[in-house]
Amino acid sequence: MKIKIKETAKKKKNYSLYKLAKILNLPQQTIYSWAKGRTQPSYLNLDKLCDVLDCKIEDILEAEPVQSKLF
| pLDDT (tens digit per residue) in 45-69 | 999 999 999 999 999 987 666 665 6
65 three-class SS: coil
Sign of CA dihedral 42, 19, 50, 34: negative
pLDDT(35) > 70: yes
- pTM of the model as a whole: 0.80
Mean pLDDT of 6-29: 96
CB 35 within 8 A of CB 17: yes
Fold adopted by 2-62: 434 Repressor (Amino-terminal Domain) (1.10.260)
Question: What is the residue extent of each domain of the chain?
Answer: 2-62
Mean pLDDT of 11-18: 96
Q: Which of 25, 71, 68, 28 is nearest to 6 (CA)?
A: 28
Residue 34, H or E segment: helix 28-36
